[in-house]
Amino acid sequence: MLTAQTPAPAPAKAPPAPAAAKSPSAVPGIAPLPGLPNLWVSGVPPVPPALSQRVQQYLESRSAQLLDVSADGQQVLISTRFADVNQLHLVEMPLGARTQLTFTKEPINRARFLPGNPQIIFYLQDTGGGEFFQVLRLDRRTGRSELLTDGKSRHEELVMSKDGRWLAYAGTGRNGKDTDVYVAPTSDPKQAKRVTEAEGSWAPLEFSNDGSKLLVRQYRAADDADLSVVDVKTNARTQLTPKEGKGSVESAVFTPDGQGVYVATDRYSDFAEVYRLPLTGTPPAAPPSLTKSVRWNVQDLELSPDGRKLAVAVNEEGFGKLYLLDTRTQALSPVETPRGVIAQVRFPSKRSDRVAFSLTSARVPLDVFTVDLGTKKTTRWTRSEVGGLDPETFVEPELVRYPSTDGVKVPAFLYLPKNAKGKVPVVVMFHGGPEGQSQPLFSAQTQLMVTELGMAVLLPNVRGSEGYGKAYRAMDDGVKREASLADIGATLDFVASRPELDAARVGIYGGSYGGYMTLVTAAFFPERIKAAVDVVGISSLPSFLQNTQAYRRDLRRAEYGDERDPAVRKVQERISPLGSVDRIRAALFVQQGANDPRVPQSEAEQVVQAVRKKGSDVWYLLATDEGHGFQKKTNRDMAQTTALMFFEKHLLGPAAEQGSGPAGGR
């Protein structure tokens, strides 16, 4: 009880109101999502609980990417996710436990064992999706990682010498623009030295058996790269590809005798084939192809430790095929593997009877497999979960082709819902790149739309796509991109030609360059689509080229044309969606990562604001801890769920069902 001598306590002060978070965006009205402070939205309604429940199992799907294999082939190093992002895991027997090795908040998707000591692992990691990757070394005995690079430059590639003495990687430390090759002793990896110091983008590919030489690639564009060999001690560099002409360099390894290289290139053919080039002397004008019987792109090479077998991974119309080239007889023989898309081919450094690889298909998430080359038996090492769903219920795509202008026939993969009654809506999904390729790999988002929502999904590979020869890939270069937009009209015509598909209910979805194609479709074919989801897409080619990171600007000018040339810029502006936003009639949803070094945030915000200025509503989702896409599970789940909600509203809702048929396109 209070007495007269006891003064009453002063009224308690209300706690200060939390300071409002500073907006990471210039879009008015944007605010963080409750409980998800790194996700900011404007115009995006809450997700209905019923939809969240329907999609949850699909979003729990995971994958396992092969990163390396131990010398004896008894351990595989993989990247997979059990929490929010991919981390390093070890698997020590087929379908054995995935033992987690790293526990960080940022994803890790590239790593290598130290040859001779698998207790040491080198890996690359960035922060917030900005792609300024750093090289780190993990000591598995202590669980501790050590930063080996400067913490601010961008680094890529990890190449180990076979004896474990040397590590090579690429980095922009010299001037922030050019990418040089660095070599460091693994005994003291902070003592790295530059072995190339030249303008452009250079990267290491492989050490020679004795570690004295290093293959490096200079990359200018998808159709313009050169291969050189560098003396690690003196830095002397010799170009192995001819100085005249140009072509790709997909992969390269030293020959067993160390006197030459096997290189996969399209320099001498429409497709990337395997050739043997000498280390000294003048490169042959037209060397014989070692894979001429396979008229598709070779994308990866790996030599067996005994030097007798060259593993050749081929992309045959989107599907992966594995071949073995006998280095003595030059005979090429296929290796039977499950049907799917193959990547990351690896021989154990002390075993030539087994090859490991990653594989995915429409019903199989990316997983790790090995093939015993003696018994021909394939063994699955990881079985990634698909949220408890039955993979047999997933839909396999149909490979289709349809005509466009200039004699082009566009290849595409069509997913149709099972037991559909009547015409179904369709979502056209454009790949990025532009030199990318849609392939029949596992996609939880695609299966969600097809299996759960009853929509068809069409994945076109319009001209400019990889995988169909260099002539096809070059058909959209520079100002030729304007003519390539006819493939969008051809795609919509194909939709109208199929009796199962409802051409009055078409949605468009794409990321990066696919986001550009999405916006182009909305702007230049406005009467033919209902909804468009643009993820980290380009809205203006000139502003994109001016604002992308310096280290990649010249690489992109080689593809899109130089915006500093008035004639080129005129075409770029004409085919940029930003200049035609007044024509957009479809509902629009834009998703962006704030730290995107490739397609900056400004590309998303200028189109959002321009469309809103003309009176149309736009949904906008911004992730402040992501870059060129969404890697963190929480963010990715929200991005995919809201995209599904958007398509469900505009393609399946009552208003969509009442829509009229499409008018003629551009």
Q: What tens digit of pLDDT does each residue of 100-153 get?
A: 999 999 999 999 999 999 999 999 999 999 999 999 999 999 999 999 999 999
Name the helix (H) or strand (E) containing 59.
Answer: helix 49-59
Q: What tens digit of pLDDT does each residue of 72-88 get?
A: 999 999 999 999 999 99
Give the 3-state secondary structure of residue 582.
helix
Which CATH code of 1.10.3080.10, 3.60.10.10, 3.40.50.10260, 3.40.50.1820 fits the domain covering 32-59+389-652? 3.40.50.1820
Give the 3-state secondary structure of residue 213.
strand
User: If DSSP states are collapsed to H, E and C, what string results for 389-422?
Assistant: CCHHHCCCCEEEEEECCCCCEEEEEEECCCCCCC
Percent above pLDDT 90 for the chain: 89
pLDDT of residue 17: 45
Tell me the mean pLDDT in the region 175-185.
97
Residue 343 structure tokens? 């990547």
Give the 3-state secondary structure of residue 487.
helix
The band of 659, judged by pLDDT with boundaries at 50, 70 and 90, is very low
The band of 666, judged by pLDDT with boundaries at 50, 70 and 90, is very low
User: How far is residue 272's CA from residue 267's CA, in Å, rounded to a whole number?
Assistant: 8
User: How far is residue 128's CA from residue 134's CA, in Å, rounded to a whole number?
Assistant: 13
DSSP assignment of 219-250: EEETTEEEEEEEETTT--EEE-S-SSS-----
**Long-range contact set of residues 470-474: C-beta below 8 Å, sequence gap at least 24:** 470/223, 470/247, 470/248, 470/266, 470/270, 470/271, 471/270, 472/408, 473/222, 473/223, 473/435, 474/223
pLDDT of residue 655: 46
Q: Is the pLDDT of residue 4 over 90?
A: no
Residue 583 structure tokens? 């024509």
Q: Is the pLDDT of residue 518 over 80?
A: yes
pLDDT of residue 281: 78
Cβ proximity of 271 and 297 under 8 Å: yes
Q: Is the pLDDT of residue 662 over 60?
A: no
Residue 365 structure tokens? 């998430």
The one-letter amino acid code at 225 reads A
CA dihedral (637, 384, 508, 510) in degrees, to 10, reads 80
Instruction: Quickly tell me which residue has 């430390």 as its tokens.
Output: 173
Q: Measured between alpha carbons, how far is residue 184 from residues 125, 158, 163, 168 in Å?
A: 18, 11, 13, 6
The band of 162, judged by pLDDT with boundaries at 50, 70 and 90, is very high
User: How far is residue 494's CA from residue 488's CA, in Å, rounded to a whole number?
Assistant: 10
Cβ proximity of 115 and 161 under 8 Å: yes
Backbone φ and ψ of 195, nearest 5°: -110, -10
pLDDT of residue 96: 97
Q: What tens digit of pLDDT does each residue of 343-377 get?
A: 999 999 999 999 999 999 999 999 999 999 999 99
Spans of all domains in the chain: 32-59+389-652
